[in-house]
Structure 1
Amino acid sequence: MFRPQTFSATEAAAAFARAKRSQNNVPVPVAKTFYYETYRRVLSASPELVILQNNNLTAHEFKALKLKLKQKGFVATQVRNAVLSAAVRDHFVEEKKDVKLATRFARLLVGPSIAVFPGTVAEGQDLLVRECVQALAPENLGAGVAKKILVAGALLEQSHVLSRQQLEEAAKLPSKQRLREELVGLLSSPAARLAGLLSQQPQSLVRTLQGRV
């Protein structure tokens, strides 16, 4: 479960020790270091991170957005674009992932931004893409709030950066559990039907992920 971040004295000391300095050798502000370390924690814990563009939500509307998403199991938090971009880039470098993805992800961060991610992530849990897209639908958020946000895209499993359209397509794909159930049901079916399922679903997934931003 995501909670307001706290750091032990040891963790804080380590964070400040590895904090970079500016070109003028000025220490990084405490607040920036705190947000950077918080974003790194979120990236390590969450398999998906959806970015919204905030088009002048009032404080009351943002509070309503957070509450609606919390009821669906998601956390929404305003982010500092430059700090989040740096956290993603450094995380990718340390994890030896494709740093080009960090550049693609940074393009999603335009203007005031909000990050949305699962409040709880169980080991082996399927991605909650469908649930997140549904939670962000106008019928859940209300027209007043929905018209002031725009889904920019998402980072999935730290391996794919999707645009809004690609995220919506990914939400239409069946879960692993559903695929398993369909396969079990087809084991005694004609081979043609089984072959059709095996060829159809992976192609949908490949089209979505290979067409990433």
Structure 2
Amino acid sequence: MLVATTRRLVPIQRLSSSATALCSSSQADLRPNLPNYASSRSYALSVIPPKIAKGMTLPRHFTGKKAFQYNWYMRILNSSANSPLLFLFHNDFTAQKLIKLRRDISAAAMRSKPSVVSPAGAPEEPVPEPLLTVIRSSIFGAALRDFPAVDNDDVIRMTAGVSGALAILSLPVLDPPQLKAVLRTFGRTVPPRKAKTKEELQKEIVEKNADPANPGRRVKRVKQVVDPELRVLGVLLDGQILLPDRVKDLAELPTLQTLREQLVGLLSSPGTQLAMTLSEASGGRLARTLEGLKNGLEETAEHVSPP
């Protein structure tokens, strides 16, 4: 009996994305272990001029959206001649947290609104609110390099050991009470992170490397709790970089109007004392004062004159 065998043709199908990823992962396991180089930057803000590549000229000329950002940053830097510009380091901020931070800053600025002296009869000019801007570090660094009023060494000292996202807060005027209110708002809205103990770190490592409670089942998705971080790096004011310690000292000063009144009082103090002395020596007191001065001069002349 002759048995006829037939050959079935199976159409070739493309591998799915999951199968392709599985194949690629299996092939990657066969490769030798190579070091994994991170592509993240180790700095927050670079003001060092870049290396001139072929066809590249300095200063750089941006176009399109980058040109708009560069010009916007230059306007902010120019405004620091009369108003402080705060450099902030922020990390793990959600959109809701960032919105709340802006609202809290505006509320604190309105509570400590500085008084603006306007000419007699002229309406009082409204004071603009503080502006919080999340910057693009590469373009802002180029703007700082082209800003002649800032010493780049001070910027390097300010951002030493910091890597991550930056933001700048533009205050309308230099008003120490308002600056103090804003700094206190930072501490209330974004409290400082507490350092983890060795036991907590060891517990996190154990939980990360532990086997799942139910093997083979999909792990339930747990909502991640975001703990934002905010830190003041320094203040740019009139071409000078003030580090956090000096920023706190600046916030403890009185208002500018109070400082002017104290300076006027200090300068007018000698004239006031002279006027008080002359007023007390008026009338008979003036005659007795002059008579005493005359007697003193005569006694001095008698001791000095030869026998």
TM-score by length of 2: 0.44
Q: Structure 2 CA distance, aligned partners of 1:182 and 1:54?
A: 38
Note if contact 2:158-2:243 (Cα within 8 Å) is conserved in structure 1: no
Q: CA deviation at 1:24?
A: 4.8
The match for 1:162 is 242
Residue aligning to 1:4: none
Question: Number of residue pairs matched?
Answer: 160
Alignment-mate amino acid for residue 53 of structure 2: Q
The DSSP-based 3-state class of the residue aligned with 1:91 is coil
Partner residue, 2:106: 70
Equivalent position of 1:111 in the other structure: 164
What is the one-letter code of the residue matched to 1:23?
A
- Cα shift at 1:143: 3.4
More helix by share: 1
For residue 35 of structure 1, what is the aligned residue in structure 2? Answer: 69
User: What are the equivalent positions in structure 2 for 1:1-213 lying under 5 Å apart?
Assistant: 23-25=53-55, 28=62, 30-47=64-81, 48-71=84-107, 72=109, 73-92=129-148, 98-104=151-157, 107=160, 110-118=163-171, 120-121=172-173, 127-137=174-184, 140=185, 143-147=188-192, 148-158=229-239, 160-185=240-265, 187-188=268-269
Post-superposition, which runs of at least 4 consecutive aligned residues in structure 1 deviate over 6 A?
A: none
Give the SS at the match of 1:136: helix
How far 1:145 moved relative to its partner?
2.8
Contact 2:176-2:254 within 8 A present in 1 as well: no
**How far 1:34 moved relative to its partner?**
2.1
Offset of residue 53 of structure 1? 1.0
The answer as to whether partners of 2:132 and 2:169 remain within 8 angstroms in 1 is yes
Shift of 1:110: 3.5
CA gap 1:133/1:52 in 2 versus in 1, 3 angstroms: farther
Query: Per-residue deviation at 1:38?
Result: 0.8
SS of residue in 1 equivalent to 2:146: helix
Larger radius of gyration: 2
Flag structure 1 segments of 5+ consecutive residues without an equivalent. 1-19, 122-126, 192-213
Residues 68-111 of structure 1, C-alpha deviations (whole Å, 9 max, x = no match): 2233131111111222122112011xx5x644344445549641
After superposition, the Cα gap between the structure-2 partners of 1:106 and 1:84, relative to the gap in structure 1 and judged at 3 Å, is farther
1:119-175 superposed Cα distances (whole Å, 9 cap, x missing partner): x45xxxxx23441232131xx3573534421111111111x1111111101212234
RMSD of aligned C-alpha atoms?
3.3
Q: Which amino acid aligns with 2:236?
A: L
Q: Give the letter for the 2:256 counterpart.
A: K
Structure 1 CA distance for aligned equivalents of residues 136 and 95 of structure 2 = 17
Distance (Å, rounded) in 2 between the aligned partners of 1:182 and 1:100: 35
Local SS of the residue matching 2:164: coil
Report the secondary structure of 1:57's partner residue.
coil
Higher strand share: 1
- For 2:214, the equivalent position in structure 1 comes to none
1:46-87, Cα deviation, whole Å (9 max, x unpaired): 332101111212110101111222331311111112221221
- Identity over aligned pairs, percent: 28
Q: 1:163 to 1:141 in 2, by over 3 A?
A: closer
The residue identity in structure 2 corresponding to 1:161 is: I
Q: Which runs of 5+ in 2 are unaligned?
A: 1-49, 110-128, 193-228, 274-307
